[in-house]
Amino acid sequence: MDADMPLLDVRDLRVTLTGSEKDITLVDSVSFTAGAGEILGLVGESGSGKSVTALAIMGLLDMPGLVVSGSVRFRGRELVGLSQRALRHVRGREIAMIFQDPMTAFTPVYTIGWQIDEAIRAHEKISRRDARTRTVKLLNEMGVPDPERTANRYPHQLSGGLRQRAMIAMALSCNPALLIADEPTTALDVTVQAQILDLLRGLRHDYGSGVLLITHDMGVVAETCDDVLVLYSGRMAETGPAAALFARPAHPYTTALLDSIPPLTGPRPARLPSIAGVPPSPAARPSGCAFAPRCHYAHASCTTKPPLIVWEEQEVACVLPTEGHALPPRITAGETP
Ligand SMILES: Nc1ncnc2c1ncn2[C@@H]1O[C@H](COP(=O)(O)OP(=O)(O)OP(=O)(O)O)[C@@H](O)[C@H]1O
Ligand SMILES: [Mg+2]
């Protein structure tokens, strides 16, 4: 493998929903790279296309009515268009995914230990007994109490937090080169959340794995990620090194997300405190900038779709920087600019 070749190189990824009167673009021309040993955060509000992007990369959108186009190169190899058989080979061993809903990863009819054993045995010729030893060790590393006994339980017998840890154990069982973690901590309390973020950092550090971390929590990004990609309504709003994005957000949406970093305790606000409204559904996306209807800075130029431009260390889909506006000032909740 070329040393400069990124682990994952996604170019112009599109996911289109066909079948109704008009095609609906769920993910619209998303491009990014993720390197070995790096954690890339994929952020955006609910419905911004984070999970659909992840599932498209994994080749898990092979269903009627959904069309995936563009390019997903993993270690230089094109995954878009590969057969499900070839993809199964890549999944698990090379790319593993922690699903947003742990119940997606486990079938209810087998114990979680059996399912993790099988995941190991699907990629490695080892005995059932050796696989179980590895499973128990992994569960133990994930902080699962009494791992031998827990391995013999069924998914529905575990708490949400334990199920999440078991799923992470399964995802890590083959030391994947790339881990896609879809909201791995959302359902968990703060202590468990911190432990899981530690695990992800350890994975990058100990195994040099690349991690694509999906979250809508900029606090999690701040603690964990090297680079960030902000999605809005299935499109790229801004991308760049996390430090640059936090220091000088270029897109008003990034600013709004930063202003919404939830408090450490208490309930998460259902909406972004600094901007009104919710993102448009992909079927009702406005023709210009999709964020314009909620943007404090929207003006005439925003009725055309903004191209992605390079600004400082970021790429941003907003006309403000090119129009010579310095950064939009940070807005705090409740204030109007
Ligand atoms: N299988 C599907 N068929 C049709 N539309 C879908 C499908 N899966 C997702 N969508 C739509 O695609 C858009 C993006 O959904 P996605 O699940 O990727 O959002 P998300 O960013 O992961 O949100 P959340 O934070 O709530 O998980 C949404 O409008 C959703 O309704
Ligand atoms: Mg999702």
pLDDT per residue over 124-176, tens digit each?
899 999 999 999 999 998 889 999 999 999 999 998 888 888 998 999 888 89
Q: 74: closest CA among 43, 105, 36? A: 36
Residues flanking ion ligand 2, Cβ below 5 Å: 50-51, 100
Q: Which atom of ligand 1 is nearest to the CA of 54?
A: 18
For residue 48, pLDDT over 80 is answered with yes
61 Cα to the center of ligand 1, angstroms: 12
Residue closest by Cα to atom 9 of ligand 1 = 52
For residue 337, pLDDT over 60 is answered with no
The pLDDT assigned to 318 comes to: 95
Q: Give φ, ψ of 66 to 5 degrees.
A: -110, 125
Long-range (24+ apart) CB contacts under 8 A made by 327-331 are 327/248, 327/249, 327/250, 327/255, 328/249, 328/252, 328/255, 328/296, 328/297, 330/249, 330/255, 330/258, 330/259, 331/255, 331/256, 331/259, 331/274, 331/296
The pLDDT assigned to 272 comes to: 61
Q: Is 230 in the pocket of ligand 1 (CB under 6 A)?
A: no
CA of 55, nearest ligand number: 1
130 Cα to the center of ligand 2, angstroms: 35
pLDDT band at 333 (very low <50, low <70, confident <90, very high): very low
Q: 252: closest CA among 298, 286, 209? A: 298
Q: Is 50 in the pocket of ligand 1 (CB under 6 A)?
A: yes
The pLDDT assigned to 270 comes to: 56
Are the C-beta atoms of residues 144 and 169 closer than 8 Å to each other? yes
CB atoms within 10 A of CB 254: 27
336 Cα to the center of ligand 1, angstroms: 31
Q: What is the DSSP letter of 308?
A: P
278 Cα to the center of ligand 1, angstroms: 14
The pLDDT assigned to 336 comes to: 44
CA of 98, nearest ligand number: 2
99 Cα to the center of ligand 2, angstroms: 9
The pLDDT assigned to 335 comes to: 43
State the Cα–Cα distance between residues 39 and 224, nearest whole angstrom: 7
Q: Is 116 in the pocket of ligand 1 (CB under 6 A)?
A: no
Q: Give φ, ψ of 212 to 5 degrees.
A: -105, 110
State the Cα–Cα distance between residues 260 and 215, nearest whole angstrom: 13
Structure tokens at 133: 């030893």
State CA 95 to chain mean position distance. Answer: 13
Residue closest by Cα to atom 26 of ligand 1 = 46
Q: Which atom of ligand 1 is nearest to the CA of 214?
A: 22
Q: What is the Cα gyration radius of the chain?
A: 21
Structure tokens at 42: 């994929």
Q: Helix (H, G, I), strand (E, B), or coil: what is residue 194?
A: helix
The pLDDT assigned to 296 comes to: 87
State the Cα–Cα distance between residues 25 and 33, nearest whole angstrom: 21
Q: How many residues does the chain have?
A: 337
State the Cα–Cα distance between residues 260 and 230, nearest whole angstrom: 14
Lowest mean pLDDT segment, chosen from 15-19, 52-56, 167-171 = 167-171
Domains of the chain: 8-94+176-316 (3.40.50.300)
Are the C-beta atoms of residues 275 and 293 closer than 8 Å to each other? no
pLDDT band at 331 (very low <50, low <70, confident <90, very high): very low
